[in-house]
Amino acid sequence: MKEKLEQIKLEAVSMLEAENADLEQIRIRFLGKKGELTSVLRGMGALSAEERPVIGALANEVRQYIEERLADAAVAQKAKENEKKLAKEKLDVTLPGSKIKIGKRHPLSQVQEEIENIFIGMGFEIVDGPEVEYDYYNFTALNTPENHPARDTQDTFYITENILLRSQTSCVQARTMEHKAPPIRVISPGRVYRSDAVDATHSPMFHQIEGLVIDKGITMGDLKGTLEIFAKNMFGADTKIRFRPHHFPFTEPSAEVDVSCFVCGGEGCRLCKGEGWIEILGAGMVHPNVLRMGGIDPEVYSGFAFGLGIERVVMRRYNIDDMRLLYENDVRFLEQF
Amino acid sequence: MKLPLKWLADYVNIGNPDIKDYCEKMTATGSKVEGFEILGEDISNVVVGKINAISKHPNADKLVVCSIDVGEAEPLQIVTGAKNVNVGDKVPVALNGANLPGGVKIKTGKLRGETSQGMLCSIGELNLTTHDMPGAIEDGILILPTDAPVGTDIKEYLMLSDTVVEFEITPNRPDCLSVIGLARESAVTMDSELKLRTPEIKDCDGKVEDYISVRVDEPTLCPRYTAKVVHNVKIEPSPLWMRSRLRAAGVRPINNIVDITNYVMLEYGQPMHAFDYKCLDGKQIVVRCADEGEIFKTLDSNDRTLKSSMLVIADAEKPVALAGIMGGENSEITDDTKTVVFESANFYGAGVRITSRALGMRTESSGRFEKGLDPELTMDAVNRACELVQLLGAGTVAEGTIDIYPEKKAETVIKLEPERISNFLGTYISEADMRATLEKLCFRLDGDKIYVPSYRSDVECMNDIAEEVIRIYGYNKIESTRFRTSAAEGKLTPKQRYYRGLCTALCGMGLNEIQTFSFISPKYYDKINLPEESVIRNSVVISNPLGEDTSVMRTTAIPSMLEVLARNNNYNNTDAALYEMAKVYIPREGIVTNDKGIPGTLPEEKTKVVIGTLKGDFYALKGIVEAVVEFTGVKDVEFEAVTTCPIFHPGRCAKIVKDGIELGIFGQVSYGVCENYSIDKPVFVADLDFELLLANAGDVAQYKPLPKFPAVTRDFSFMCDVDLEAAKIEKVIKKSLGKLLDGVKLFDIYIGAQTGGKKSISYSVSLRAPDRTLTAEETEAAISKMLANLDKELGITIRS
């Protein structure tokens, strides 16, 4: 009987080793209810009391061995099958994916949002103001009374004698001071209007972002520091800024602010017309008359304000040479950003 | 302001700096340089020559051959076609290798076989006009004075070389619209000595009082009126040096008297006027307001109808000038003027501005007065004019000056607060440095009092002093700091968050964002077929638009979207799918006075979410709209058919309604409107109200337990009229099943031969209870009720 068991073991192993062995059939043949091993065990009754445990143990050993080899063979066979399947299913991965169309934000919105995020990070809030505005907020409250020559520097669209299309987002400064007590830290993006005919660098409607900070002890150094952080975040960590004296009726001192050219880094190139600097915004310390008109005591508080044209940043950043493209909304243009 | 540096040198010695360096430094201290021009740069190798002989050209009747002495050993032979040259004339000669304006190069060559070693020049070839060279002719050679030294460089002889720096002067600094003003700034900037001088007049004859008297009726509009008289005037061209400077500064020379007034204006910044004395009736000047409706012909030969608010300079009878704007034709300087009255007056800026705007006249003079000039200027200016008269030998100055100056301008005094200034700037500057800077800028200091020069009316308070100090100290030496302030919340409002989120969602749906102008043409309303009486046409109108196409503020952004779609269709972007977060401007009824006492009401500014596509179909657009609704979190909206909106297809348009409020409208654009935009394919547009969507957004979602018990799902096909809206069937199903309803989903619609003029509509309905498995009886009862209701309310039955 012992020989019989050894033979069964050898036979099973040889069958398992065959190519494409039918594992289920092997299992049934050797381990099934009517299988060879089972019939051997059934014949154990004829054995002596001494032989029975020895043969029993051997039979179990053989069963376990076959079972294990069957499991191994199953794993190996599965692996082979998978391999075949994988080989058969090879794709040209360079073919294009199924198109899922993602639309693009308008480049003006992208840049506006980026600027907003930089200032939110510095603790600013975003406030809004009307575009159709009283001339009071656009001019008078900004230290530009009627018949002030500075009113000429911006050709303004009028609706009535007292109502106009705001020519600058600075109106929001005046409105904010009326509604909020210091400390004030706001920016206000939006559309502004000036009577400029459309050409490659002018548009009668464009976008600005105004910024205003008012508190005790605000200095011109703070203005510079704030704009520096903005410029570095917007244009790159190596960006430098430069202040040039200028005049705005609502700030004193006032400055025009240049950033080092983000293409050449200040060496001079085609983008910056060889100057190494690009003018991007106007800024200054809030004029005491403006604070006073906003109900804020200039003896106690000081502040700074700045305004920047979004189109200019967009055009510089993406190297767009014609402003009209921004309002034509050609899909082939929009999808580039 | 164009500043010729040779003129500047009269008042300050800045040495001979690199021009770029000078420009950069001036910009850095606040006088912004726009650019510079080197005059005469384009002329070289042109000298004074003398014509020794003229002979006939052997091969050409219209040409002559000249022998010309240019100061060299040998005379040159030059062929010319000019008719106006004679032996002995001095002329400009362009030598071999000469450069002339416009890139012209002169070389020795042959003209009809005769050697020509250069060219004789006309004024045009030297880029001059008859104003620059009075007496010269345009179509001939420029004949120079007989004493012109042969061989001299023409640029030197005609004073054609100079460097002109163009400044952009801000409106607060009218004092810098002058050579002297810029000399002051240059002196401080370049650390050079300022050489100011007081004009001197000698040898007068006659008395000004014997000629004229002046009365100022409007001292507010005319704070100061200063005048002098010059007689024995001989009108002639002014000398070359004066013409050359005027030309460099961009002013056309006219005659000695007019040139003097312009010269003084450029030098001092004080506009002047010269009257022909013989045209002044009654030996009198009266500064008064015009008579209402009075007609006055100005120097430019235009009749002006005046208003009683406008200030004029008049004689005893009539106006002779519009104060500070332009003189009258009736008292203009002419070639036979013998006696001149020089006016050097100060006019109130706002007054000049109102008049000049009302008459649509902007002149060099009015532009200066508008900015507010210093009344202290008038005396030096009129004296300088008379000094120049004497220098030019243009006439005899009468003794004395008329000067009506009832209220001398008070001096501005500001306290010097060095510590406050340093704190304000955030940069420490010592008191000594501040004082030194202010003194260089001609401020007078006495203890802690700063006396502001009269021409610096822009300086009024501490901030202004801080600016004066820092602009000279250097804006770029300010240290960058971070402000310290109480904690503020840098965050977006819920509305701003929703705005950004919605944009992201729309982009995620494959739509590109567009931006269009807020102003449109009123014709845009015609293009979307709005009826004449439509309230949507009621727009905010711009009173001074650039053109008709940007003349009203839009009340709807649909036409802007259609324009963009049409443009993209033309560009062959035929699958354009776009959205705009578009502001619209809705006029408000009634005139109200706001809390500032300002009359007039601002329009309501609303944001619309406008979606437009050239691809898909109605349901593709509806899918986008539904996604927007879902993203926003508006629950239980209903879609109702709209058949009467002129923009849309009457059978393919719906509005979104929530609790009776219309949140938006969408659909296929009607064929007529598409034709107006020349779009030859279906167009789909949605116009949603951003603010209303947000206002109807649900509250924060509350968790509902996930189902524990199974649902029962049944499919039904109903037969109904073709026109019956699916929403009505769904409504009955939902109502009938009540709490047991788990979901209802349409899966098929069929209209065909077998449906016999009706439609078959199929739903999958599932029922579920949260707390138990539904029994067969319960399910059947609920479904029977549903079918009964459908039959009763809509007359529809299950398709057999």
Q: Is A102 part of a structural domain of the chain?
A: no
Which of A121, A152, A213 lies at the smallest CB-CB distance from B483? Answer: A213
In tens, the pLDDT along A123-159 reads 999 999 999 999 999 999 999 888 777 776 668 999 9
- How far is Cα B176 from Cα B269, in angstroms, rounded to an integer? 8
H, E, C per residue of B283-323:
HEEEEEECCCCCEEEECCCCEEECCCCCEEEECCCCEEEEC
Confidence at residue B487, expressed as pLDDT on a 0 to 100 scale: 65
A123 touches chain B (CB under 8 A): yes
Instruction: Using a CB–CB cutoff of 8 Å, tell me whether B538 touches chain A.
Output: no
Q: ipTM of this model?
A: 0.86
Give the β-pairing of A302-309 and B444-446: unpaired
A245/B467 Cβ within 8 A? yes
Read off the pLDDT of each residue in A96-108 and give the average, rounded to a whole number: 94
Residue B556 has pLDDT above 80, yes or no: yes
The single-letter DSSP state of residue A140 is: G
Residue ranges, comma separated, of all CATH 2.40.50.140 domains in chain B are 44-157
Q: A-chain residues within 8 Å CB-CB of B516?
A: 327, 329
Which chain B residues have a beta carbon less than 8 Å from that of A136? 596, 598
For domain B2-40+162-190, give the CATH number.
3.30.56.10
Whether A143 and A271 share a structural domain: yes
Helix (H) / strand (E) containing B519: strand B519-520
The band of B316, judged by pLDDT with boundaries at 50, 70 and 90, is: very high
Contact call for A330 and B493, based on CB within 8 A: no
Which of A101, A132, A228 best tests the B interface by mutation, with the highest count of B CBs <10 A?
A: A132
In the predicted model, what is the mean pLDDT of chain A?
Answer: 90
Q: Looking at residues B598-626, what average pLDDT do you find?
A: 94
On whether residue A98 sits in a domain, the answer given is: no
Domain-embedded: residue A94: no
Q: B514 and A113: CB-CB below 8 Å?
A: no
CB of A327 within 8 Å of a chain B CB? The answer is: yes
The CATH code of domain B208-404 reads 3.50.40.10
- Per the CB < 8 A criterion, the answer to whether B579 and A109 are in contact is no
Q: Looking at the predicted structure, is the pLDDT value of residue A35 above 90?
A: no
B137 has pLDDT over 70: yes
Q: Please compute the mean of the pLDDT values over residues B288-302 and round it to a whole number.
A: 94
Strand partners, B638: B657
Closest partner residue to A204 (CB to CB) among B371, B550, B564 is B550
Question: Quick check: B591 pLDDT over 70?
Answer: no
Contact call for B463 and A285, based on CB within 8 A:
yes
Helix A51-88 to helix A23-31 angle, to the nearest 10 degrees? 170
Q: What is the nearest CA distance from A106 to chain B, expressed in angstroms?
A: 5
Q: What is the dotted CATH code of the domain comprising B712-798?
A: 3.30.70.380
Q: CB atoms < 10 A from the CB of B503, how many?
A: 20
Burial of B557 (0-12, 13-18, 19+ CB in 10 A): buried
Q: Which of A102, A147, A158 sits opposite B350 (nearest CB)?
A: A147
CA–CA min distance B79, chain A (Å): 45
Q: What is the mean pLDDT of residues B402-406?
A: 95
Residues A201 and A313 in one domain: yes
Average pLDDT over chain B, rounded to an integer: 93
pLDDT at A152: 67
The whole-number average pLDDT for the span B710-731 is: 92
Structural domain for A169, as ranges:
107-334
Question: Does residue B442 have a pLDDT over 70?
Answer: yes
- Taking an 8 Å cut-off on Cβ atoms, the answer to whether B173 and A247 are in contact is yes
Residue A203 within a domain = yes
Contact criterion met (CB < 8 Å) for A215 and B486: yes
Q: Determine the residue of chain A that is closest to B517 in CA distance.
A: A205
Contact A120 B491 (CB under 8 A): yes
DSSP character string of B628-674: HHHHHT--S-EEEE----TTEEEEEEEEEEETTEEEEEEEEEPHHHH
Q: Where are the alpha helices (DSSP H) in chain A?
A: 2-17, 23-31, 36-42, 51-88, 107-121, 135-138, 171-179, 220-235, 288-293, 310-318, 324-328, 331-334
How many domains in chain A? 2
What's the average model confidence in pLDDT over A62-81? 90
Across the range A209-228, mean pLDDT stands at: 95
A185/B488 CB distance under 8 A: yes
What's the pLDDT at B340? 96
Partner-chain contact A183 B603, CB within 8 Å: no
Give strand pairing partners of B797.
B719
CATH classification at residue A265: 3.30.930.10
Cα gap B585→B537, rounded to integer Å? 11
Inter-chain residue contact A134 with B600, CB threshold 8 Å: yes
Is some CB atom of chain B closer than 8 A to the CB atom of A217?
A: yes
Q: What would the mean pLDDT of B635-654 be, rounded to a whole number? A: 94
Q: How confident is the model at residue B592 (pLDDT cuts 50, 70, 90)?
A: low
Shared domain for A257 and A322, answered yes or no, is yes
Based on the domain organization, do A119 and A78 belong to the same domain? no
CATH 3.40.640.10 given to domain B494-695:
no
Are A150 and A202 in a shared domain?
Answer: yes
Q: Are residues A146 and A66 in the same domain?
A: no
A chain contacts of residue B170, beta-carbon cutoff 8 Å: 246-247
- The DSSP code sequence of B43-73 is -EEEEEEEEEEEEE-TT-TT-EEEEEE-SSS
Count of positions (residues) in chain B: 800
CB proximity under 8 Å: B 548-567 to A: 550, 553, 564, 567
Q: Does B487 touch chain A (CB under 8 A)?
A: yes
| Residue A35 to residues A31, A301, B89, B449, Cα–Cα distance (Å) | 5, 100, 139, 121
Q: Does B583 touch chain A (CB under 8 A)?
A: yes
Query: Are A246 and B170 within 8 A, CB to CB?
Result: yes
Q: Where along chain B do the CATH 3.30.70.380 domains lie? A: 712-798
Q: Please state which of the ranges B226-240, B476-490, B553-567 shows the lowest mean pLDDT.
A: B476-490
A132: in domain: yes
Q: Is B491 on the interface with A (CB under 8 A)?
A: yes
Residue B33: count of CB within 10 angstroms of its CB = 19
Residues A223-245 as b/e (b if ≥16 CB within 10 A, e otherwise) read bbbbbbbbbbbbbeeebbbbbbb
Alpha carbon distance B660, B678 (integer Å): 36
Chain B CB contacts of A243 under 8 Å are: 475-476, 478
Buried b (16+ CB within 10 A) or exposed e, A186-220: bbbbbbbbbbeebeeeebbbbbbbbbbbbbeebbb
Residues A272 and A306 in one domain: yes
- What are the pLDDT digits (tens) for B245-262? 999 999 999 999 999 999
Are B603 and A132 in contact by the 8 Å Cβ rule? The answer is yes
May I ask the CATH architecture of the domain B412-473?
A: 2-Layer Sandwich (3.30)
Q: Across the A/B interface, how many CB contacts are shorter than 8 Å? A: 252
pLDDT in tens, B123-135: 999 999 988 888 8
Q: Distance from CA of residue A169 to its chain's centroid? A: 27
**Interface contact B518-A205, CB threshold 8 A:** yes
Q: Say yes or no for a CB contact (<8 Å) between A103 and B482.
A: no
| B784 near A CB under 8 A | no
Give contacts of B471 with chain A, Cβ < 8 Å.
245, 253
Asked whether the beta carbons of residue A149 and residue B371 sit closer than 8 angstroms, the reply is yes
pLDDT at B251: 94
If asked whether residues A274 and A167 sit together in one domain, one would say yes
Do A84 and A111 share a domain, yes or no?
Answer: no
- Is A76 part of a structural domain of the chain? yes
Say if residue A11's pLDDT is above 90: no
- State the DSSP string of B341-368: EEEEEE--HHHHHHHHHHHT---HHHHH
Q: Would an 8 Å CB–CB cutoff place A333 in contact with chain B?
A: no
The answer to whether B511 contacts A285, with C-beta atoms less than 8 Å apart, is no
Please tell me if residue A126 touches chain B, with a CB cutoff of 8 Å: yes
In a domain, A100, yes or no: no
Instruction: Pick the residue of B485, B493, B541 with the most A CBs within 10 A to test the interface with A by mutation.
Output: B485
Contact B354/A at CB under 8 A: yes
pTM of the full structure: 0.85
From chain A, pick out residues whose CB is under 8 angstroms from the CB of B420: none
How far, CA to CA in Å, does A245 sit from each of A151, B414, B425, B463, B476? 20, 21, 14, 13, 10
Q: Give me the residue from B513, B542, B579 closest to A157, CB to CB.
A: B542
Chain B contact set for A165 (CB, 8 A): 519, 542, 553
Q: Is A147 found in the same domain as A24?
A: no
Residue in B369, B331, B341 with CA at minimum distance from that of residue B353: B369
Compare CB distances from A162 to B28, B518, B599 and report the shortest one's residue.
B599
pLDDT at B485: 67
**Pairwise CA distance, residues A31 & A25, whole Å:** 10
Distance CA B459, CA B475 (A): 18
Q: Are residues A134 and A73 in the same domain?
A: no
Cite the residue boundaries of each domain of chain B with CATH code 3.30.930.10: 494-695
pLDDT at position B753, please?
83
B476 to chain A: which residues are within 8 Å by CB? 242-243
Choose between A49 and B23: higher pLDDT.
B23
Whether A9 is covered by a domain: the verdict is: yes
The domain boundary, picked from A22, A55, A88, lies at: A88
Identify the pLDDT of residue A153. 61
Tokens of B732: 């009955």
User: Cis omega before residue A253 (within 30°)?
Assistant: yes
pLDDT confidence bin for A331, thresholds 50/70/90: very high
CATH number of B44-157: 2.40.50.140
Task: Please compute the mean of the pLDDT values over residues B560-571 and round it to a whole number.
Answer: 97
Q: Which of B221, B471, B512 to mutate to probe the A interface, most A CBs <10 Å?
A: B512
B512 and A331 in contact by Cβ < 8 A? yes
pLDDT of residue A262: 76
Question: Does one domain contain both A222 and A321?
Answer: yes
What value does the mean pLDDT take over residues A196-220? 93
